[in-house]
Structures are given as C-alpha cells and as structure tokens.
Amino acid sequence: MSKTGYFTHRDCSKHEMGPGHPECPERLDAIADHLLVTGVADVLAHYEAPEAALADIERAHDHGHVAALRGMSERLRQEQQAGGPDYARIDPDTALNAHTWQAALRAAGAALAATDAVIAGEIDNAFCAVRPPGHHACRDKAMGFCFFNNIAVAARHAMQRHQMQRVAVVDFDVHHGNGTEDILAGDPRALMVGIFQHPLYPYSGVQSPAPNMLNLPVPAYTRGMAIRELIERLWLPRLEAFQPEMIFVSAGFDGHREDDMGQLGLSEPDYAWITRHIKDIAHRHARGRIVSCLEGGYAMGPLARSVAAHLRVLADI
C-alpha cells in the first residue's frame, strides 16, 4: 500500500462566486462525504494546507498579477464594510468574494506542501482537494474559475527549490490547461501532456504548441476506450522517453459522461486506468512521486466517485 497524503483546508470552501455557479463549495463537501462513507478517507494521511508564500507563487506568476489580485481582494473587503458588493468580477465566469484570496493561498499552499512532503519521502504521493482550481490561470491573468495555477506553482517549486531537471505535468480535465501551458511552454525541464475536448473553452491548445507540450484535442462524444488508445499511443511513449523525476497531475473530472460541463464519455474506470498508467511511469522513473490537484468536475456524484477511483489507485486500495 502506498502512503497517500490528502491536503485540504476549510478556507477553500469559503470562496464562492455567486448562487448557481458550478464551481461551488459543495464540490469539496461531496468529495469528503463520499471518501468518508466508502472508507477511503481512513487510509489517507490527512494534512491541513498551509498558505503559500507569495515568493513561491511568483515563481509561476508575474508580481503584477499577484499584487492586482491582492489589491482587488482588499478593496472588496473595504467596500463590503461600507455596504458594497459581495463580489469583484474578473470575467463573466470568474469572481472574487471576501475569502477568495485566502482560499487561493491555501490551494497553492497545498500543492507546495504536498510537493515538499513527497520529495522528503514523508508520503509516497498526494492529492490536493482544493479550490479554486488552477489550470486556466496564466502567468499574468486569472480566468476560467482560476486565480493561481496550483500545479504550475508546484512544478516550478520542484524545479527551482528542489533542483529537479525533469518534471512532467499530466492534465486530463475536459478543458485545455492553457494557463499551465502558458507558464511552462518552452522550459526544457518540463513536459506537459494533456487531453481535452475541442472545440471547447478556452478554445486553445491546437495551434503550434511548444516542443515540450503534447496536446491531444478530441471531439465531443469521444468515449473512454478511444481516449485510452490515444494515451497509450501518444502520451505514454513521450512520458517514458522523458523519464520524469516527478509527476504533477491536473485532475479534472469534468470529462465524466454524467458531467454537463463537457461532452466526453469518461467514467470512473477510465480515471482509474489513467491514474494506474501515471503511477506505473512514476514508479519506473520518479520513485513513485506524484502530486495531484483537483481541477474541474461539477456533477457532485460523478465527481466524488471519480476522485475516489483516482485515490484508490494512488493509495493501492
């Protein structure tokens, strides 16, 4: 059995973007409840996510972006004390509330702490049950429900703080991880492989990606077996050749066939299959070191079951 860390924090549930928004606090509740009922929670090593240091976040993001988000958050709190609005909007889908800054620091902090714990050998691998998600956050802007790019912050930390020379990012969210690509493109120490529905928000990932990016856009209604075949034929040989020292996973479960955010046909066995192959590569080349962070997944039941399937493989249960 692998020792799997589970990183989260109650602050991550205080961020919300308005009634009816799909990226809601109930996502974390659904995951936690399902893991408790199924007994998966009992075999995990539980950690409270710390706040990320701004210097660590700025390994992946421009100082101006970080300062702007902090300033928006402070202004919003001041305005609320005077009876002002509940939210500060960044785009039609993305907004801050009074707790977003703190939640974003905890989400990035979870990824950083998990990275440190895995590299130290304290745990074998880790899953960060955090929000806001991160993979759309670019070097200099927030978008698509994302403020800081948790996975990119952690990957940069592994390369710069821990001097890793080969770090892989695997992204299986239904949407292209444009922010992660923006931050890591052209860095020979990083390899990113992603599979996503196209065309779909953010309508990117198909035009001349950098040599260290392997993007697999697939059409709507692509089923699990077809995605498995693409991964076997294209992802796995590239990851094997790269021989990563550590693997980071943008674990989005909105490609599930019951999730209306996209139109892919994945199911829990597909997520388990993908995780098993990631884990096999990590064992061969990276001493088993994996840090996975929650991205999408908006249908509560499928999300919770898919996370459990992912964790069962990570923890060998």
26-54: per-residue pLDDT in tens?
A: 999 999 999 999 999 999 999 999 999 99
Dist. CA 71–CA 194, nearest whole Å: 33
Return the domain boundaries, the chain.
Answer: 4-315
Average pLDDT of the segment spanning 245-257:
99
Average pLDDT of the segment spanning 251-263:
98
Read off φ and ψ for residue 251, nearest 5 degrees.
-95, 90
Dist. CA 159–CA 139, nearest whole Å: 17
Q: What is the dihedral of CA 193, 181, 215, 240, to 10 degrees?
A: -20
The model's confidence at residue 193, banded by pLDDT at 50, 70 and 90, is very high
Q: What is the pLDDT of residue 177?
A: 98
DSSP element (H, E) containing 68: helix 63-81
Read off φ and ψ for residue 223, nearest 5 degrees.
-95, 170
Dist. CA 153–CA 248, nearest whole Å: 11
The backbone region for 103, taken as left when phi is positive above 0, alpha when psi lies in -120 to 50, beta otherwise, is alpha
Q: What is the pLDDT of residue 162?
A: 98
Average pLDDT of the segment spanning 269-279:
98
CATH number of 4-315: 3.40.800.20
pLDDT value at 131 more than 90? yes
Residues 6 or more apart whose Cβ sits within 8 Å of residue 70:
101
pLDDT value at 275 more than 90? yes
pLDDT value at 291 more than 90? yes
The mean of the pLDDT values for the chain is: 98
Q: For 246, what's the count of Cα atoms within 13 Å in the CB-facing half-sphere?
A: 30
What residues pair up with 223 in beta bridges, in sequence order?
A: 265
Dist. CA 237–CA 284, nearest whole Å: 13
pLDDT value at 283 more than 90? yes
Q: What is the pLDDT of residue 85?
A: 95
Q: Using one digit for the tens of pLDDT, what is the confidence trace for 108-122?
A: 999 999 999 999 999
pLDDT value at 1 more than 90? no
Is 136 designated active site?
yes
- Percent of the chain scored above 70 by pLDDT? 100
Q: What is the pLDDT of residue 188?
A: 98
Q: Using one digit for the tens of pLDDT, what is the confidence trace for 93-109?
A: 999 999 999 999 999 99
Average pLDDT of the segment spanning 189-215:
97
Q: How many residues belong to the chain?
A: 317
**Catalytic hit among 15, 99, 136, 277:** 136
